[in-house]
Structure 1
Amino acid sequence: MNQYFATVARGLEHIAAAELERLGAQEVSPDFTGVHFVGDKALLYRVNLWARTIFRVLVPLREFACSNADMLYREVQKISWDDYLHPDNTLAVDCTGGNQKLNHTHFTALQVKNAIVDQQRDKSGQRSSVDTDNPDVRINVHIHQDRCILSLDSSGGSLHRRGYRPAMGLAPLKETLAAAILDMAEWDESFPFLDPLCGSGTLPLEAGLKALNIAPGLFREKFGFFSWLDFDEKLWDEIWAEAEKAEALYLKSPIWGSDRDGDILNQARINAQRCGLEDQITFTQTELSQLEAPTDRGVLICNPPYGERLGDARELGELYKMLGDVFKQRFKGWNAFILTGNKELAKKVGLKTSRRIPVYNGSLQCTLLKYELY
């Protein structure tokens, strides 16, 4: 059994911890922007393939005292790096955090890289080259106060990049946050789902993947562990085949996305096609003022602009007021959710919330507002 650490967006630690437990992780312990857990190699592969709410799965190699660059270099050289990469493998080093003496992430990463390639050169006369875009081995170094944790990044690129979304709107919601919002809203496949401001389709697509039990990692071309020296291809093939067999063929309840912008809806349809959902999810071009409830019950979730990146907050009051009016007049029997980062705009909805869930969209503090519509 090995120790692992899943990195997650701030505020989603407990949601990610519950997901990891469902996937079979043991000794699950949430931390700030991450979750510690224990499992075998099969679990490592399965979490990378199935996790909907986490960014990366790190495999810690060593934790050590580290107050300056010289200590960092010495401690990194104590690791036998030929256990993890050969000189003909490429590498990249990512750094987060810092302390008084190690306060520049690029410099810290450079020190770690130098320690590794100097050891290789001393042992074999050869060294790995750096490939920051697509390395064989990606190393993560995290500095906090006078401690350093050095890990292998099993995911490679962030898991929020599912691989199905080449087309994006101007302010796309991360797929991991969309999946977490579905959990926060307690939505499951037995309820119809609607996003009336769907943009490039992230919320409806994540709902579709969840409802059909499709592993989000199936759309990725590569995971970091594919290039590791201990990669077990047979085990991976079994886990991949298991995931393909687990897919449902049809939705139990319909999923819709609508938007006023036809060009953005075309992006949503392209994304749906990329993940095989083009015949499962219905996208329609609809003005919010013309929106009608398609069934007598369901869950509506939307992420309207709130003046931080799209639109101007002063001009968005009418949009929020219209959302409230449409909810009240046409969506009786539904639960509606609005993700917003603007308290003043939220007041314009004019309806009483039944729940207010704090959530971060990137670094922006937001609230997921729930309205029970009777």
Structure 2
Amino acid sequence: MIEQLNEQLALTATCPKGLEGLLAEELRALGASDTREQPAAVHFSGSLELAYRCCLWSRLANRIMLRLEQVRISSAEDLYRAVAAQPWERHINPSGKLWLQFSGTNREIRNSQFGAQKAKDAIVDRLRRDSGARPVIDKQNPDLTVALRLQRDRLDIAIDLSGDSLHRRGYRTHIGAAPLKENLAAALLLRAGWPQIAAEGGTLLDPMCGSGTILIEGAMIAADIAPGLLRDSFGFERWLNHQSDIWNQLREEALERRRRGLERELPEIRGYDADAKVLFAAEANIARAGLERQVRVSCRPVAAFKVPSHREIKPGLVLTNPPYGERLGEQEALRETYAELGRQLKSEFGGWLVGIFTGNPELGFETGLRSHKQYQLYNGSIPSQLLLFHVRQQSAESGAEEGARKLSPEADMVANRLRKNLRNIGKWAQKNNIDCYRLYDADLPEYAAAIDLYKSVDGQVSAHVQEYRAPASVDENKARSRLRDLVRAVQLVLEIPQRNISIKERRRHSHKGDQKGGSQYQKQADSSAASIWVTEHGAELEVNLRAYLDTGLFLDHRPVRRYLREHARGKKFLNLFCYTASATVQAALGGCEQSTSVDMSKTYQAWSARNFRRNNLDPYRHQLVEADCLQWLASAQQNRRAHYDLIFLDPPSFSNSAKMRGVLDIQRDHATLVRQCMSLLAPGGMLVFSNNLRSFKMDESLVTEFNVENLPLLDKDFQRNPKIHNVWKIQAK
């Protein structure tokens, strides 16, 4: 029995294979904690209210399950006893209607139907023993659905709170020949970045819309409509623990959000199909969803697919699920369809993002477009791919876009250097699976800036342009003109929209090389962009390209983090001045047993916590400590706290934060810091000491006292600037 409203429940959301990461992200946004992914499912914790909210709002889940217990069994009798031990009288009236779902086998229970029968007997016998009544088995309209999953000797016992699969929203009564499930359509939209495109007023078009599922799901996302609002019922509504007041409040909130969403001016959402009959199904589904004014469809072949001309259309997303043919003859006939789609996209949709979802990726190549991102998904049991393309602008453009493509002779030099670096550094990065790297660092003195590329987990490429302050001898207007030329060159060469370029002026500090102390990390007043997630060595890390002068991930330390990961297995790890704790994430994924990450900034501690959650790090094993590292170190040394096998010390060059008791000067203070760290090392342990003060000199007494080895940890994208940081391995003699 649910005793308290806020009681934390063990919950599981199931989903189509390949959507686990997206679903985990969605569940966290809804309020879930302790998310843990497994194939086709995500486990999480939350209240009963959260379970209801997930049933109502999840666009990706198939089912939401309340996990009752996990037990070890080996025989049919073990199965019977384990199921009979559950207090079923608290979940269903003895004379109610019951349904069981059983999956899996083991050595003794070799048939899922037999397992279901045994579990049903256990539930019925318990209810009949206590009340004299027994439930009836009813698949169509049960009061309670029990879900049991057997994997080897482990039995999971759960209650299905969703009832019918959540992908059945309730609006699709008419379907085409090859229907796309609603939650898969929503996943395609999310992978293609539709929520952001819609928020910016971008258009959604589907040239082969079929029964309209992609269009309807797109409109529901844009209008903030809960996907479960049209459903007739949910599995929890006749469960004995159902809290109708909570549910009614959530539903009223969703109805109000829908009303407000539909009152807003939504982006243009249109679909086309050459089959007039299938468009009747689309129109019926759109009407049932209550979106006739927001979504329009019309009969048009692919060869006539153009940008709508009746009103000013903002470029956005073309997303479609074309047929791909199961037989060779069908595939050959479809090649021309894909080729025609490619011709129309290239001639009519310059500057648009295109997504093609297909079970035959070879047909995707027939478009003549090169995908910049591919996602492996399943359409039912069929392995499929979502191919994403950026369609290049045509040379006949006008207005601001045309201006962005016209470069001054000087900016042409920058563009040529960027192309050269892309061929060199870009090829190296691609070969080594590096998604974030430095492309340019004041290669041409007149254009003094650093340009870093960040590819997000959804395949979007962004450029982070950090302009170095021009010397006083350079006219300020000339400096601004050079920056504009630089940004145009970036946009032209990288073929990315202006919104994907962030521009910052990096002021020089009195302590050269300082990147971690002082005001350069104060939040910028004009910050407007949300964070993105990027991948490094298998870890997913949050970066923010606009809100701070630095992004949350120091790219020059990439090989340092790799080194720590390679040496972390089985170790107890300490990360001092941890910043956003990306090094700790790498050490944890490398197998460190425990970690402590110390930083005095609330902002960075919260950022670190998000990085930990994203990578499923156990907060009990990986501890975040908000403290002044200088005070923490002194206290740890004095109190003889537990020793560490691996310590990473990466302090700022200079810091006089108001939160600190004193002033940190790394050249002056490093010997003390190093000795304090060495006192916390376990026998055989290692300290990795790093800083980015270019004029830094190691104290000779440390070299005499310890084994000190310089580590040349610089990747190819920073080798032009060998003094960007210093790294040493320090061990006891």
TM-score (norm 2): 0.50
Q: Supply the distance in 2 between the matched residues of 1:275 and 1:153 (Cα, whole angstroms).
A: 25
After superposition, give the CA deviation of every residue in 1:279-313 in whole Å (9 maximum; x if it has no partner). Answer: 11111111111111223511000101111399822
Does the 8 Å contact 1:171/1:310 carry over to 2? Answer: no
Residue of 298, 301, 320 corresponding to 2:319 = 301
Q: Supply the distance in 2 between the matched residues of 1:311 and 1:239 (Cα, whole angstroms).
A: 51
The equivalent residue for 2:203 is 192
Equivalent runs, 1:171-190 vs 2, <5 Å: 171-188=178-195, 189=198, 190=201
The equivalent residue for 1:350 is 368
| Greater Cα radius of gyration, structure 1 or 2 | 2
After superposition, give the CA deviation of every residue in 1:194-234 in whole Å (9 maximum; x if it has no partner). Answer: 01100000000000111000101110010000001111111
Distance 1:331 1:311, change over 3 A: farther
1:219 aligns with 2:230: yes
Residue of 43, 53, 60 corresponding to 1:53 = 60
SS across alignment from 1:6 = strand
The equivalent residue for 1:160 is 167
Following TM superposition, by how much is the alpha carbon of 1:131 offset from its aligned partner in structure 2, in angstroms? 0.3
Q: Supply the distance in 2 between the matched residues of 1:279 and 1:149 (Cα, whole angstroms).
A: 46
Q: Supply the distance in 2 between the matched residues of 1:246 and 1:231 (Cα, whole angstroms).
A: 24
Does the 8 Å contact 1:338/1:368 carry over to 2? Answer: yes
Following TM superposition, by how much is the alpha carbon of 1:68 offset from its aligned partner in structure 2, in angstroms? 2.6
SS across alignment from 2:367 = coil
Q: Supply the distance in 1 between the matched residues of 2:69 and 2:370 (Cα, whole angstroms).
A: 51
The more displaced of 218-227 and 19-28 is 19-28
SS across alignment from 2:385 = strand
The equivalent residue for 2:218 is 207
The equivalent residue for 1:38 is 45
- Letter matched to residue 196 of structure 1: P
Following TM superposition, by how much is the alpha carbon of 1:353 offset from its aligned partner in structure 2, in angstroms? 1.2
Identity of aligned residues (%): 39
Q: Supply the distance in 2 between the matched residues of 1:277 and 1:309 (Cα, whole angstroms).
A: 36
The more displaced of 342-351 and 105-114 is 342-351
Following TM superposition, by how much is the alpha carbon of 1:346 offset from its aligned partner in structure 2, in angstroms? 2.1
After superposition, give the CA deviation of every residue in 1:39-78 in whole Å (9 maximum; x if it has no partner). Answer: 1111111110010000000001111112232211111111
After superposition, give the CA deviation of every residue in 1:306-339 in whole Å (9 maximum; x if it has no partner). Answer: 1139982222111111111111111111111111
Equivalent runs, 1:1-374 vs 2, <5 Å: 1-188=8-195, 189=198, 190-247=201-258, 248-249=261-262, 250-294=264-308, 295=313, 297-308=315-326, 312-374=330-392
- Letter matched to residue 45 of structure 2: V
Q: Supply the distance in 1 between the matched residues of 2:62 and 2:215 (Cα, whole angstroms).
A: 20
Q: Supply the distance in 2 between the matched residues of 1:49 and 1:262 (Cα, whole angstroms).
A: 33
The more displaced of 117-126 and 203-212 is 117-126
SS across alignment from 1:101 = coil
Q: Supply the distance in 2 between the matched residues of 1:306 and 1:297 (Cα, whole angstroms).
A: 27
Note the aligned Cα RMSD (angstroms).
1.4
Compare relative contact order (CA 8 Å, sep 6+) and give the higher one, 1 or 2. 1
Q: Supply the distance in 1 between the matched residues of 2:218 and 2:361 (Cα, whole angstroms).
A: 27
Following TM superposition, by how much is the alpha carbon of 1:183 offset from its aligned partner in structure 2, in angstroms? 0.7
Q: Supply the distance in 2 between the matched residues of 1:66 and 1:217 (Cα, whole angstroms).
A: 36
SS across alignment from 1:58 = strand
Q: Supply the distance in 2 between the matched residues of 1:79 and 1:46 (Cα, whole angstroms).
A: 26
- Letter matched to residue 32 of structure 1: P
Distance 1:309 1:238, change over 3 A: farther
Does the 8 Å contact 2:90/2:241 carry over to 1? Answer: no
Distance 1:115 1:107, change over 3 A: same
Q: Supply the distance in 2 between the matched residues of 1:218 and 1:31 (Cα, whole angstroms).
A: 28
Does the 8 Å contact 1:305/1:311 carry over to 2? Answer: no
The more displaced of 147-156 and 113-122 is 113-122
SS across alignment from 1:216 = coil
Distance 1:147 1:338, change over 3 A: same
SS across alignment from 1:109 = helix
Q: Supply the distance in 2 between the matched residues of 1:28 and 1:174 (Cα, whole angstroms).
A: 24
Following TM superposition, by how much is the alpha carbon of 1:370 offset from its aligned partner in structure 2, in angstroms? 1.0
- Letter matched to residue 356 of structure 2: I
The more displaced of 287-296 and 9-18 is 287-296
Does the 8 Å contact 1:251/1:280 carry over to 2? Answer: no
Structure 1 runs not aligned, ≥5 long: none
Following TM superposition, by how much is the alpha carbon of 1:107 offset from its aligned partner in structure 2, in angstroms? 1.8
After superposition, give the CA deviation of every residue in 1:10-51 in whole Å (9 maximum; x if it has no partner). Answer: 110010011111111111222211111111111111110010
Distance 1:253 1:109, change over 3 A: same
SS across alignment from 2:81 = helix
Does the 8 Å contact 1:175/1:206 carry over to 2? Answer: yes
- Letter matched to residue 232 of structure 2: E
- Letter matched to residue 234 of structure 2: F
SS across alignment from 2:104 = strand
- Letter matched to residue 176 of structure 2: G
Q: Supply the distance in 1 between the matched residues of 2:293 and 2:130 (Cα, whole angstroms).
A: 57
Distance 1:139 1:310, change over 3 A: farther
TM-score (norm 1): 0.97
Q: Supply the distance in 1 between the matched residues of 2:329 and 2:352 (Cα, whole angstroms).
A: 28
Following TM superposition, by how much is the alpha carbon of 1:103 offset from its aligned partner in structure 2, in angstroms? 2.8
Q: Supply the distance in 2 between the matched residues of 1:89 and 1:245 (Cα, whole angstroms).
A: 34
SS across alignment from 2:228 = helix
Structure 2 runs not aligned, ≥5 long: 1-7, 393-733
Number of matched residues?
A: 374
Q: Supply the distance in 1 between the matched residues of 2:369 and 2:87 (Cα, whole angstroms).
A: 61
SS across alignment from 1:297 = coil
